[in-house]
Structure 1
Amino acid sequence: MNGFAELAHAAAVAKAVRPDVALALATLVDVEGSSYRQPGARLLVDTEGRILAGAVSGGCLEADVAARAADVWTSGRATTLTYDLRTDLETIWGFGAACDGVAHIQLEPLPDFSWMEEAELIRKSRHGGALVMLIRTGESKDVRLLVEGGTDTTHPAVIKKVSGDTLTEQETAAIVELVRTADRTGLPFAHQLPGDVGSVFVEPLSAPIALHIVGAGRGAELFARIAHTMGWSVTVLDHRPALLEGIQLPTGVARQGVSATEGPAGALAALPHDGRSAVALLTHVFDVDCAWLTAALPLPVGYVGVLGSRARGAQLLEAVEASLASSGTPLTERMRRKLHAPIGLDLGGEDPASIALAAVSEIEAVMHARPGGFLRERQSPIHTRTPSPRLLNQPIDSEEPGAA
């Protein structure tokens, strides 16, 4: 996701300092070949050519995009800028950057930026949804939409128009289907509507990763700090109030005491436990880890990790299997796959900070359905995206990112 809260803050500061200077927003909507940034990257600029926040490239295009902000305000319409990164940089800067792609950037006037804060709220609601921009051909005005829900019958799609003309019934139906596709794939994409009536850029408002850290020891501080820097929603849980209050956590990381009455199952039920959720068990106490693992594995979370040796992990799994069987819940292969014990990627570090980095990196890899290896050894393209994503009524071979 692309920092809606940060962009909204930067826009508010800019308007407070220079209230008479208009703003514009650039969005990278499509890439052909290789690019440093991917679709959904954004850049906030003003009509005097200032770069205020964000980025749509490795630094080579931002100044040229900012220089065009005044033009889109004069026209009152969004425009699509196309940069061939293999040749255009020579014209713009007088040197080439040896990039291998073409970047399509949508630049639009930004008279109102309050929708950014609403987009962030939709993300945090964890009900699915998307940000949609319809660029129409002809004289009709472009349309910006926020869509909340739409992924299942529990949370039907609610379309909120931010700006522009009214949608036709055909456009509405097409956008709802595209939003469902974006929510499943987790990838933003551009789509050409039939009949040459315009194009749509759809960006899923995927929920932030929710990391539940069990055990308020020294390691929890490091886990929380790294995950919080990633923009994740982090909660540290412990049944020992003094230990929980004694650790130093970044502002925004939640502490949650766990009573004997609610136990692990009750505590996890009150927290996000979907495919974008992860549980890290750091207590070092076998019986405590066993209780939490018994509660966590049947939930549709995307990841469960346990600190400790491989042998300890095997013993825990054996105990959990027996505990689940006694309650009539068999240990399934899917539960086994989501369990990572020992926790973390094989980065080689032994100190607590290295272990925390390895664990957070593993969670990131799992949520993106990646193996976590060296990019230099990857044979397929680095960025998993397709120029024309399939709709949900078409077969999709791979599992969705973050699936439980």
Structure 2
Amino acid sequence: MSNHVNHLLSQWLPLKDKHKWVLGFIFKTEGSCYRKAGAMMLFSDAGHQLGILSGGCLESDIVKKAQRVMTDGVSRTAVYDDEDEEDIAFKLGVGCGGVVHLSLVPVNQDNQYLSLDAVSKTLTNGDACEWACTVDGTRGVCEAVEYSNAKPRKASLETIKGMRTLSVLMLPPIHLLVIGGGYDATFMTRLASLQGYLVSLWDPRPAQARIEHFPEVNYLIEDPSVEGLRLHLSEHNIQAAVLMSHHREIDAKALQVLSKRALTYTAMLGPLHRKQEIMDLAGIQDTDFSQYFASPAGFDIGGELPEHIALSVIAQCHAVFHTKPTNLKR
């Protein structure tokens, strides 16, 4: 299960009026902490716990505080200090050594669900937004942001009109296209899904890309033609692609289509000499890719198994989207 905010909100949305809900969110941290400001978790009176606010060490105490908020409807804040011997965090054995400032607030029709329903709709549509919420939970606002200009950044805590307000940039899930539906692709799609990615899969070979082998895939492209692939790319906000069909013509045709798209991340499995063969076959060059293109795909982590390769590629993809160094190459 993914802990991406879009996944949490998609579970909460159909249940938002069926139970009492409390939102827990970190609005400030000091020192080393497992989760940072902007992390959120949803609790219900039916026992739902969506998300995570620590490595699992604080949740038992946070649940108790959330239940009090459900009972009396009064927002609360809590501070967990791992270095204070009198603090519950110290007694729970939290080992990060930092301080977590947490807010627990009701989420209901009275406060317009803190605009979390609008956040969910925006992210599901593949758009970005800025979510601002007062620490006391009296007001939440969702404002659309141009996704092409939205880069991951830290949440900020400011005092606006006398109210402490946390602002969080919410980005939609990365949509990854996997070219190739063989056994090794099952690890790629599974790991991408765990990161909260949306996943599309295309393989024109009838014996490949069987739905029973890819239960976590969001879109299995049934049209085997290159035009079908091109149409899917046009209809969906796909930002990343991995070519792993292990078939020269399939990879070449797909790479030619992808070279016309401004994807943030494109990667192709195989050694350097194969890269040149495929690019020659496709009639394209490195300069046809305006953003990150990796071939061989992934970081060199010393792995050989399909699951190792999937890990190295998804890690590289994640690094690119979060503007982290990608010089650990094969």
**If the length of structure 1 is used for normalisation, what is the TM-score?**
0.67
Residues 264-292 of structure 1: per-residue CA shift (max 9 Å, x gap): 4334223323xxx2111112222332222
Aligned to 1:394: none
Contact 1:31–1:102 at 8 Å: present in 2 too? yes
Aligned to 2:134: 134
Contact 1:240–1:257 at 8 Å: present in 2 too? no
The answer to whether residue 269 in structure 2 is matched with residue 307 in structure 1 is yes
Match of 1:332 among 282, 287, 294: 287
Match of 2:235 among 270, 289, 296: 270
Contact 1:133–1:200 at 8 Å: present in 2 too? yes
The answer to whether residue 128 in structure 2 is matched with residue 146 in structure 1 is no
Cα distance in 2, alignment partners of residues 298 and 89 from structure 1: 60
Inter-CA distance 308–123: structure 2 relative to 1 (3 Å threshold): same
Inter-CA distance 70–97: structure 2 relative to 1 (3 Å threshold): closer
Name stretches of at least 5 consecutive residues in structure 1 with no aligned partner: 153-179, 325-330, 375-404
Offset at residue 309 of structure 1 (A): 0.9
Larger of the two Rg values belongs to structure: 1
Name stretches of at least 5 consecutive residues in structure 2 with no aligned partner: none
Moved more, 102-111 or 38-47: 38-47
Aligned to 2:22: 24
Contact 2:114–2:141 at 8 Å: present in 1 too? no
Aligned to 1:175: none
- The number of aligned residues is 323
Contact 1:47–1:69 at 8 Å: present in 2 too? no
Contact 2:6–2:120 at 8 Å: present in 1 too? yes
Offset at residue 190 of structure 1 (A): 2.9
Inter-CA distance 72–41: structure 2 relative to 1 (3 Å threshold): same
Aligned to 2:201: 236
Cα distance in 1, alignment partners of residues 257 and 38 from structure 2: 36
Contact 1:128–1:206 at 8 Å: present in 2 too? yes
Match of 2:105 among 100, 103, 108: 108
Offset at residue 224 of structure 1 (A): 1.4
Offset at residue 312 of structure 1 (A): 1.1
Inter-CA distance 223–191: structure 2 relative to 1 (3 Å threshold): same
Offset at residue 61 of structure 1 (A): 2.8
Residues 295-342 of structure 1: per-residue CA shift (max 9 Å, x gap): 21332211111111111113334555x447xxxxxx538x27611111
Cα distance in 1, alignment partners of residues 215 and 179 from structure 2: 16
Cα distance in 2, alignment partners of residues 348 and 130 from structure 1: 39
Cα distance in 2, alignment partners of residues 210 and 287 from structure 1: 24
Residues 64-96 of structure 1: per-residue CA shift (max 9 Å, x gap): 333333554577553432332221665555365
**If the length of structure 2 is used for normalisation, what is the TM-score?**
0.81
Contact 1:344–1:359 at 8 Å: present in 2 too? yes
The answer to whether residue 297 in structure 2 is matched with residue 343 in structure 1 is yes
Aligned to 2:255: 293
| 1:71-220 pair list within 5 angstroms | 72=69, 76-87=73-84, 90=87, 94=91, 97-111=94-108, 116=116, 118-135=118-135, 142-147=138-143, 149-151=144-146, 184-193=150-159, 197-220=162-185
Q: Secondary structure at the match of 1:193?
A: strand
Contact 2:79–2:99 at 8 Å: present in 1 too? yes
The answer to whether residue 328 in structure 2 is matched with residue 366 in structure 1 is no
Contact 2:156–2:166 at 8 Å: present in 1 too? yes
CA RMSD of aligned residues (A): 3.6
Cα distance in 1, alignment partners of residues 211 and 135 from structure 2: 53
Offset at residue 135 of structure 1 (A): 4.2
Q: Secondary structure at the match of 2:309?
A: helix
Cα distance in 2, alignment partners of residues 84 and 373 from structure 1: 37
Contact 1:86–1:99 at 8 Å: present in 2 too? no
Inter-CA distance 282–11: structure 2 relative to 1 (3 Å threshold): closer
Cα distance in 2, alignment partners of residues 349 and 74 from structure 1: 51
Contact 2:193–2:216 at 8 Å: present in 1 too? no
- Percentage of pairs with the same residue: 23
Cα distance in 1, alignment partners of residues 43 and 232 from structure 2: 44
Offset at residue 11 of structure 1 (A): 9.1
Cα distance in 2, alignment partners of residues 265 and 8 from structure 1: 28
